[in-house]
Structure 1
Amino acid sequence: MTDTDFAIEVHGLSRRFADFIAIKDVTLKVRRGHIHALIGPNGAGKTTFFNLLTKTLDPSAGTILYKGRNITRMAPAQVAQMGMVRSFQISAIFSTLTVLDNVRVALQRAHGTSFHFWRSVKELDSLNERADALLQDVGLADKADVTAGDLSYGRKRALEIATTLALDPELLLLDEPTSGMGLEDVAHAAALIRRVARTRTVLMVEHNLGVVADLADRITVLASGTVLTEGTYAEVASDPRVQAAYIGREFKA
């Protein structure tokens, strides 16, 4: 397997905060075109790891390669421009704008400009075709004129994914995409992730093990900032170390 088979490679990654080591000597490879899940109990270091990948934190040691290029010391904007884009655990949308305008804002950002309310309607309407396609992709085509703040929580997360996709990412980092959702919204979110992953690589932090079992091609388990094990869901679920890390939570292979 060549380096080009992997969207991202992490070697010996560590992050120390004073006397606390949040991430310790993590090595991980995410294969192109796969859905790779990062799981672990609370405090395992999953969010810190995402922050290191997207460069909002600098590592204390180790290297990060994206598409074969060393991005360890790059700025966050540079990494995003290369096609690595993250969605956050807390939905980040403009609640007073319509669903369509939220996507148009993101599309203007993708073109290197900001949203200008004084622009002509004709100029903004030039973004509609792509915006409509993105809303179709995430199942919000019938909600284009709805104020975003009036959407259900699950639909807000779908809108956030649409705005993320507007940046045309090659690698999509999803941070707890089903957090706080009811069963129906979880099913919609899982189907959406599977759909968008057809043409992208997805690395997701996810607490819902049913979603992980259904979607992930490969799973890495973090515990206390280190890699506990990696494999298919059946492999990690049968690992006694994983079962011990998730005390009180049942794994089913």
Structure 2
Amino acid sequence: MIEAFEPAPDTRGEIILSARDLTKRFAGFVAVNGVNLNVERGTIHALIGPNGAGKTTCFNLLTKFLQPSSGTIHFNGRNITNLPSADIARLGVVRSFQISAVFPRMSVTDNVRIALQRRRGDSFDFWRSQSVLSAFDDEALRRVDEVGLSEFAHVMAGDLSYGRKRALEIATTLALEPEMMLLDEPMAGMAQEDVTRISALIRKISANRTILMVEHNLSVVADLSDRITVLARGEVLAEGSYDEVSRHPGVVEAYIGASHE
């Protein structure tokens, strides 16, 4: 018997990541239900929705930290539905998390250098001599400068402000040379000064990359996003520009209802 395979979506150079009928069930609860998503190459695409909408679960499915119950995911036309998360990262899809994750007792530069060492293969190369590892220093410093942390290059990461820790996380992500970055609530817990700084940084690094982000700060979403997908109760409620989705009656109802729950 010949097994029928779903053809990969026609990317034609525009669609870098797509999901079809993406679904995730947990013991009878459907967290993500039949989500269809197309992310265009070179854009900033936001995934928004009220609390419990399924945004982070959807992120975890796309990066394979969770296995879909059903549906397919394609990256650059390749079906990645059954690939483990590490293989997807090697293909160029790298994500951040809601909780800041740095090595607090290592310097900013050393944090970035660890990511550069990881690019060599399956080992972080901790066992290599300092002279060998120092070959990564120049590139590490370039990445540190790219995210505006040059003056903190030799500061312990644990001594940075929260916003600068998030900038450092972006630097370590950039060190992996991703083609696509998935940012999970990059502005969470930030003061306005840090929000402004990280927003500018995201715009800067998007110049030659694709970004998909989950974000609750709607002013940031309005300012940065080329396209927005709104989730509610695990399903796509609306999609379009910020002006389009902000006028959608279902979106207005979902947000107003969420604020009164």
Q: Which residue of 1 aligns with 2:150?
A: 141
Which residue of 4, 9, 30 maps to 2:18? 9
Q: Distance in 2 between matches of 1:203 and 1:183?
A: 22
Identity %: 58
TM-score after normalising by structure 1: 0.96
**Between 182-191 and 128-137, the greater mean CA deviation after superposition:** 128-137
- Secondary structure at 1:126 match in 2: helix
Structure-1 separation of matches of 2:239 and 2:179: 23
Deviations 1:163-182 (A, max 9, x none): 01111100100000000000
The reply on whether 1:210 has 2:219 as its aligned counterpart is: yes
Deviation readout 1:40-64 (Å, 9 max, x if unpaired) = 0000000100110111111111110
| Distance (Å, rounded) in 2 between the aligned partners of 1:190 and 1:224 | 28
After TM superposition, give the deviation of residue 101 of structure 1 in Å.
0.4
Does residue 192 of structure 2 align to residue 183 of structure 1?
yes
Q: Distance in 2 between matches of 1:186 and 1:89?
A: 14
Distance between the aligned counterparts of 2:171 and 2:98, measured in 1? 15
Residues 73-132 of structure 1, C-alpha deviation per residue, up to 9 Å, x if partnerless?
A: 11111111100000000011000000000000010011123141x533322221011111
1:86-101 to structure 2, matched below 5 A, reads 86-101=95-110
Question: Is structure 2 residue 218 aligned with structure 1 residue 244?
Answer: no
- Runs (4 or more) in structure 1 with deviation over 3 Å come to none
1:51 to 42, 60, 66: 60
Residue aligning to 1:82: 91
Give me the whole-angstrom Cα distance separating, in 1, the residues matched to 2:135 and 2:182: 28
2:44 matched residue in structure 1? 35
Deviation per CA, 1:146-200, whole angstroms, max 9, x where unpaired? 0000000000000000001111100100000000000000000000000110010
Aligned twin of 1:114: 124
CA distance in 2: counterparts of 1:53 and 1:104, whole angstroms: 27
Secondary structure in 2 matching 1:180: coil
Matched to 1:232, the amino acid is S
Instruction: Name 2:179's counterpart in structure 1.
Output: 170
Tell me how far apart the structure 1 counterparts of residues 129 and 10 of structure 2 sit (CA, whole Å). Answer: 49
Query: Normalising to structure 2: TM-score of the pair?
Result: 0.93
Secondary structure class of the residue paired with 1:213: helix
Residue equivalent to 2:3 = none
Which residue number corresponds to residue 73 of structure 2?
Answer: 64
Q: Distance in 2 between matches of 1:85 and 1:185?
A: 22
What SS does structure 1 have at the residue aligned with 2:256? coil
User: Unaligned stretches of 5+ in structure 1?
Assistant: none
Structure 1 equivalent of residue 209 of structure 2: 200
- Aligned-pair RMSD on alpha carbons? 1.4
Measured after TM superposition, the shift of residue 9 of structure 1 is 0.7
The answer to whether the aligner puts 1:130 opposite 2:143 as a matched pair is no
Provide the secondary structure at the position in 2 that maps to 1:185: helix
Give 3-state SS (helix, strand or coil) of 2:238's partner: strand
